[in-house]
Amino acid sequence: MTIVLVLIAMIVLGLIVGFVAGLIWKDNRPIGVQGDYLVAVLTTVVVGLLDYYVIPAMGFSDTMRWLGVSTEPWISALLILWLIRYVKK
């Protein structure tokens, strides 16, 4: 049940990051609005699941897992969206 909640949280977080990316880079949307949302959701889900499973496998505590799951996906999504804009420039 916890993994379902993590997936739902990552999808919602991805949608929020897609929206925030539109506020940050208003005139620069090389992949469009839908592309921003899609990339943000995919990035947050993939990075969130990796953090959820890899951090405990490396021997870190549950606190580190939740810290990684709560911070790294949205930073990674913004970084990927910035890289797309930088490459398309």
Domain boundaries, position 16: 2-88
**Distance, CA of 68 to CA of 61 (rounded, Å):** 11
Determine the average pLDDT of the residues in 14-35: 90
How many domains in the chain? 1
The DSSP code for 47 is H
pLDDT at 48: 93
Amino acid at 60: F
Give the residue ranges of DSSP H helices in the chain.
2-24, 32-57, 62-88
**Distance, CA of 69 to CA of 26 (rounded, Å):** 28
Secondary structure (3-state) at 31: coil
pLDDT at 11: 95
What's the token pair of residue 55?
């951090």
pLDDT at 9: 93
